[in-house]
Structure 1
Amino acid sequence: MYSLIWRLLPGPTAVKVGEAILLVLLVLWLLMAVIFPALEPHLPIEEVVVG
């Protein structure tokens, strides 16, 4: 799968590396800004205070 993504990215190797890093950062941002906050209310997490 990763080789398919690598072949689909346009440009020489240096440009492909930059595009791959940008894609990873975009996916991480999407997870942190959209996906995880949407899932948080559905997770069975209780606050535990030790002290």
Structure 2
Amino acid sequence: MYAALWRVLPGPLWLRILQVLVLVALVLFVLATWVFPWVDTIVNSQESTVGTP
């Protein structure tokens, strides 16, 4: 899959590396902005504390 993506990207090596870095940053931004907060509302998070004796 990664090799196919690498072959599809246009340009010389330095441009491909730049494109991959931009794509990774974009994916991380989308995950942190929309996906993780949405999943957090779905997942049943239980608040737990350590009790003192």
Normalized against structure 1, the TM-score is what? 0.88
How much identity, in percent, do the aligned residues show?
Answer: 37
**What's the counterpart of residue 35 of structure 2?**
35
* Greater RCO, 1 or 2 (C-alpha within 8 Å, sep 6+): 1
2-structure distance, mates of 1:19, 1:47: 41
Hey, what does 1:13 align to over in structure 2? 13
Alpha-carbon shift at residue 27 of structure 1 (Å): 0.5
Runs of 4+ residues deviating >4 angstroms: none
Q: Which amino acid in structure 1 is aligned with residue 21 of structure 2?
A: I
Structure 1 residue 4 corresponds to structure 2 residue 15 = no
Gaps of 5+ in 1: none
TM-score calculated relative to the size of structure 2? 0.85
RMSD value over aligned CA atoms? Answer: 1.0
